[in-house]
A and B are shown apart, each in its own frame.
Chain A
Amino acid sequence: MKPLNLIALLLFLGGATWALTRSEGVVREVQRTYYSAMRPFLKTGSTLETKARAFMDETRHSKELEVEVDAMKGEVGRLRVIESRFRELEKENSDFRHALNFKKATNFDVVAAQVIRRQPTTWWQTVEIDAGEKQGIGTQLAVLSNEGLVGKIDRPDRERSTVILLTDEKCQVSARVEGTQEVGIISGQRGNQGRDPQLRLKFLSKDASLRPGQRVFTTGRGGIFQANILLGTIEAIEKGALDSEAIVRPSVNFADLGTVFVVLTSAAP
């Protein structure tokens, strides 16, 4: 090997080692600088993507849209009824808490945001939204849609944030199965590419009596996600020697995410 090439290789390996040994804080600062430099391009890029998507949506058959509108009207009516009932319960709950002198905050402030970029990286299931630190968003905040839990904030920037989706293996959520005492950790699975992602609910008891169709909700434990957020529905149960696992279909249609809501207050640990 030529001496110059050897020196270059040693310098390269030194640089790689330096990068590999950076702390989390330094990495976040590097990312912040990178995304600040990229901001003007990102804005244009996401505008183009949104426009292209809107154009594709417009070209869908009008009959299909009519059917969708009719279905949505029905759904809105149903949700209005539920919402009014929910408001009553919320008020009732608030009164009870007040009466019991609960210190726990009851506010559930949310910021609405639009998904402006989908799947920006190869391996991680993430999306980017058009709200960031300017709107009060920080790391590890829950992100919801009207269908259930979407994920959590991974990296907030000034005017945009990256959301790690529930379908990613790294997004773990403490979950419980409706109507049972079963609790476990739910997360996405590796190889969740495509339009039909599934979640895996792990660490259930060995003899868990579960059945397909049961709904799975957040427990509220773990300090990130609030309790009772819908995660999905059980599709299959896999019994193991030591524990059981359930395959869960997410309640959110991740392929069609539009508006999401970031919950500004973290859950109590």
Chain B
Amino acid sequence: MIRYTLITVLLLLTAFVVQQFIPAFTGLYDSRILLVQLVFLCAAVTVPTPTMLLLAFIGGFLWDAQCALGPQGGDPEIYNQPVEALRFGYSIVLFGAVGYLMHGVQPLFQQGKWQFSAILSGIAIFLYLTAEYLLISFIRGGFFIVRATLEQMLFSSILTMLFSPIIFWILFSIAKMFDHSIYPDADRKRRRS
């Protein structure tokens, strides 16, 4: 169990490295494959709550370290209505929230029905992006959503979701390697029959 936990942490860190090599698809409104979020969501459903929260903290913390913008700068007399950016650390909370969402289907996952989790990972990514957009709108004021933004969120979710079977396959392989069961219910049933 501990070895599996450590490997999921390492897998998440590897996702941060690989994410650097994934460009945005300019033809699809700058949509992108959010590998870090995907690895976290897939791993979250295979681990108990404390480990999920640990992964959420690491993932959110590093994601913000990668993406946070600096202060506006300039003369405050001229730029007297600065545009705020999201505060460092907000991703930790969002990762935790979508992690709990994935935990909601853990009973199904433990029965061996990983397909539900794969679909839910796409929905969770969409909700994650929606929450981010809503937070930006909230702190900057003036809520409006244009079609390009909606399509960016939609395509990012779909593109990311398409890779979830690969991440699950990697997690299954890792669990098998360390003799750890991420399908306890399904394994028990198999042994009984």
Alpha-carbon gap, A42 to B67, bound state (A) = 14
Complex CA gap A22/B64 in Å reads 12
Nearest CB of A to B82, in Å: 7
Q: With A31-B65, A121-B67, A172-B83 known to touch, is A194 a contact of B89 (CB < 8 Å)?
A: no
On whether A45 and B21 interact (CB within 8 A), knowing A193-B29, A222-B79, the answer reads yes
The answer to whether B69 and A34 touch across the interface, beta carbons within 8 angstroms, is no
Report how far A86 CA is from B68 CA in the complex, Å.
Answer: 40
CB distance from A154 to the nearest CB of B (A): 5
Whether the pair A28, B70 counts as a contact (CB closer than 8 A) is yes
B72 within 8 A of A: yes
Please indicate which of the listed interface residues B53, B61, B74, B129 has the most CB atoms of chain A within 10 Å of its own CB: B74
The listed residue (B78, B83, B88, B92) touching A27 by CB distance below 8 A is: B88
CB of A5 within 8 Å of the partner chain: yes
Partner of B92, one of A7, A8, A15: A15
Q: Which of A36-54 contact B (CB under 8 A)?
A: 38, 41-42, 44-45, 48-49, 52
Chain B interface size, under 10 / 10 to 19 / 20 to 34 / 35 or more: 35 or more
Beta-carbon contact of A4 and B69 below 8 Å: no
Question: Per-residue CB proximity of A46-75 to B under 8 Å, as 1/0?
Answer: 001100100000000000000000000000
User: B3 on the interface (CB 8 Å rule)?
Assistant: no
Shortest beta-carbon distance from A146 to chain B in Å: 22
Closest chain-A Cβ to B69's Cβ sits at a distance in Å of 6
Find A190's partner among B23, B29, B136 (CB 8 Å cutoff). B136
- CB of A16 within 8 A of CB of B79, answer no
In the assembled complex, which residues on chain A have CB atoms less than 8 Å from the CB atom of B26? 118-119, 194-195, 255
Find the residue from B29, B60, B68, B82 having the highest chain A CB count within 10 A: B68
Interface residue from A124, A185, A193 paired with B79 (Cβ < 8 Å): A185
Q: Decide yes or no whether B140 CB sits under 8 A from chain A.
A: yes
Q: What count of chain A residues pass the 8 Å CB interface test?
A: 62
Contact residue among B66, B71, B89, B137 (Cβ-Cβ distance under 8 Å from A19): B89
- Assess whether B172 is interfacial by the CB under 8 Å rule: no
Q: Which residues of A contact B93 (CB under 8 A)?
A: 16, 20
Query: Please, how many angstroms separate the alpha-carbon atoms of A195 and B149 in the complex?
Result: 13
Q: Which residues of A contact B145 (CB under 8 A)?
A: 191
Q: Which residues of B contact A187 (CB under 8 A)?
A: 83
List 12 other contacts, CB 8 Å, given A19-B92, A191-B149.
A8-B54, A9-B49, A30-B65, A31-B65, A34-B62, A38-B66, A48-B21, A49-B23, A122-B67, A139-B70, A170-B72, A224-B74
Q: List 19 A-B contacts (CB under 8 A).
A: A5-B50, A12-B54, A12-B96, A16-B57, A16-B89, A22-B88, A30-B88, A31-B66, A38-B17, A48-B21, A49-B23, A118-B23, A119-B32, A123-B136, A172-B82, A187-B83, A190-B146, A191-B149, A224-B74
Q: Which residues of A contact B (CB under 8 A)?
A: 2, 4-5, 7-9, 11-12, 15-16, 18-22, 24, 27-28, 30-31, 33-34, 38, 41-42, 44-45, 48-49, 52, 118-124, 126, 139-140, 152, 154-155, 164, 169-170, 172, 174, 185, 187, 190-195, 221-224, 255, 269
